[in-house]
Chains A and B, each alone.
Chain A
């Protein structure tokens, strides 16, 4: 491909790509995001390719490998275009039918359709599935339409048109104003106003400025940045070029986790193609603006998602934060003005430039504009990535989009904002989700993790889990974070072991105070959230653990006993067979209910899972 040197050339090439494509030509898109990959999408893709060949319609149907569509629970996902028929949980064996029935005869295969869990109605079109219907997928939606390794696919859906507009018809300052007016706030967790950050960096003194894309997504269970980079890397790169032009930077970095090999690979391919086409390098689209991006792979430390630690790591120093009294927009990477934004923030930029701030502002709440991608995981029916307008309630996310709690159990809490977010109770289900409301409630937006918990989750155990993560990931530089997280874990651990002492709640509050208030960076600053929010909303559960030495949710092993309910036991012997510690006494021929020997029981719960008659209870 020869470099494109003007907007006219770009539009001409775009028209050529579009003209060569027939919008009515059938196209099978196969989701190969993280969830579908695990569920076996590649064998499905192979089987479909083979079925098209043996069916003799290889040339008449396109097969497109795409990034994550979002509905991970139902993968592997296959969508037949142009009708947008959604087939879910597709297996390689289904491929011949898809080809012979749907593609050749236009028939719908009923068994592969999504069934509405309440109405039991079978839904044909992807857009009619409640999981998708209630979302607003302005950033993530294109994942399903393009092959991330094809720059032509991105151009066909209007890619790089925002860049063309920005470079030729907007002044840098005007772009900054537009982003400020849009109300876009940082999607990585801080929620700082993006336009304001750009402006500060633009105004900072010095000739060299850097822009960085923070793709060091490390929250357990969160994978939206990964899915954007894997599924639509050009949108992130386009945002970065526009940002660099607005700020006055000629050099950028993407700091991406090494544990995301596909994101790194797709990003590298996208960068190479964009380079070939002339979207990077010297004199981009004939505008006189030069910009280049380097990909840097992170070494696996959670704290490197913190801006100053990330920059230290980029410089080749240990990834440890520094005090930020002098902001990174003034003195960041190599002590030069540096503007760092998260993957999702960058991906919002082309959308804002193309549609204008006014239209963007229509989405969201007063203080938080636009949409947010959340990874909805845990005890919810529809696990996956959801993009919703700011201001949507937690209830709508969990019940309408997420399809409610698995097994019809009772909702207990939702943990938002990653490991240093907080757990919000049922009474807050109608809370509108935006930066400020979540912070007021003692949690945070973070990068968009949402973990749903039901009645079988112990909140002390949950707090302990997150504190264990944080103490392991604290870099250890400052005493309050290193020792504070360690000691909070120590206290939580003894409470869950039945060794909680009176005053432990107050001690946790003391430790939370010092860790949050005295620590060097935001990791320590937010680390107590899981503890404080669970104490705030589930204090009673802590008290029962400490005073009565009981775990009401039946999770903390030291505090529970398994018991066979005699008149529910059918003397089938199943529990005895699965017990790994020979802790169940009884003989089928004795015709007496079985019994669990507490001194031998290791509380693994195998018997309870094996019992078909609900005859084993936790007391």
Chain B
């Protein structure tokens, strides 16, 4: 355990844990878009900036990628931090002016309008969908392509995400809600990744409960018997 201070308040934390979750748990309000506790720290959105001072020297850094050490002094609301966060959200808003979540965040930080040509993107390039798909689901169905402002999260060759199991984890973690999932009769579609899979019907209740492709993948990976997924999760003993 190490001791640190956040805005003057003493906080205890496990050494090496990232600063952002520690601050959030301790009740400090730090904006963030690309952080999720289920995946490794990444540092893409740059909103969780804080100032960290140690041995008399201070620097601004993203708290999501900063492993805590003994005795640091963390400042979450300095003028420099707030200025940088306002500029970052202005840049993100100019990229995705239609995202309601971003508009709301910008308003809260005092940014009403942007000083740049507005683009018409919707994805903020936080990478959460791809990271969850890789690190948690293990499907690796989507990835970033290209560099600079041509960067985009896409399925292979921008076609159908043929490794996608339509689990919907990406849909859940997306902070701006732009991926989208649709279920119609016996089909589930992950809209952004152009992936439609047939659903399996539960032998007991008759409900469609999960895509065939997904269940078959799980069954093979875990070495389960062929009839293992004949019943849905709710109807199983």
Contact = CB atoms under 8 A, between A and B. Distances in A.
Interface of A: 301, 303, 318, 322-323, 325-326, 471-480, 482-487, 490, 507, 510-511, 513-514, 517-520
A514 B67 contact: no
Given A490-B117, A514-B84, A478 B43 contact: yes
Interface string B66-99: 1100000000000010011001100110110000
21 contacts: A301-B147, A303-B147, A318-B144, A323-B43, A471-B149, A473-B147, A473-B148, A475-B148, A476-B150, A476-B151, A477-B151, A478-B46, A479-B46, A479-B88, A480-B88, A490-B117, A514-B84, A518-B49, A518-B62, A518-B84, A519-B46
B144 A482 contact: no
B88 A514 contact: yes
A479 B116 contact: no
A278 B179 CA distance: 58
Contacts of B151: 475-477, 482
Contacts of A511: 87
A474 B84 contact: no
B94 A483 contact: yes
Nearest to B115: A507
B2 to A, nearest CB: 14
A487 B91 contact: yes
What 3 A-B pairs have minimum CB-CB distances, sorted nearest first? A476-B151, A323-B65, A514-B87
B190 interface: no
A477 B87 contact: no
B60 A518 contact: yes
Contact of A323 (B41, B83, B95, B147): B41
Q: Indicate the member of B61, B88, B95, B147 with the most A CB atoms within 10 Å.
A: B147
Given A473-B148, A490-B117, A520 B43 contact: yes
Contacts of A507: 115
A482 B84 contact: no
B9 interface: no
Given A323-B43, A513-B87, A514-B84, A483 B66 contact: no
Given A482-B149, A486-B148, A487-B94, A513 B46 contact: no
A518 B125 CA distance: 16
Contacts of B116: 487, 490
B44 interface: yes
Nearest to B80: A517
Is chain A's interface secondary structure helix, strand, loop, or mixed overall?
Answer: helix
Interface size range of chain B in the complex: 20 to 34
A323 B102 CA distance: 25
A318 B91 CA distance: 24
Interface string B190-204: 000000000000000
Contacts, number: 100
B45 interface: yes
Given A476-B147, A477-B44, A517 B117 contact: no
Given A325-B61, A477-B44, A479-B46, A514 B91 contact: yes
Nearest to B47: A479
B91 A517 contact: no
B148 A472 contact: yes
Contacts of A476: 125, 144, 146-151
Contacts of B44: 477-479
Contacts of B67: 325-326
A513 B49 CA distance: 13
B30 to A, nearest CB: 14
A484 B148 contact: no
Contacts of A513: 83-84, 87
B91 A484 contact: yes
Contacts of A477: 43-44, 127, 151
A518 B92 CA distance: 13
Nearest to A474: B148
Nearest to A486: B149
B83 to A, nearest CB: 7
A484 B46 CA distance: 12
Given A471-B149, A517-B80, 5 more contacts: A301-B147, A323-B41, A474-B147, A490-B117, A514-B88
B65 A325 contact: yes
Interface string B40-63: 010111100100000000001110
A334 to B, nearest CB: 16
Contacts of B92: 479, 483
Nearest to A301: B147
Contacts of B150: 476
Contacts of B65: 322-323, 325
Interface string B146-173: 1111110000000000000000000000
A253 B92 CA distance: 38
Contacts of A519: 46
A493 to B, nearest CB: 10
Contacts of A484: 91
A322 B64 CA distance: 12
A482 B125 contact: yes
A348 B15 CA distance: 39
Contacts of A318: 144
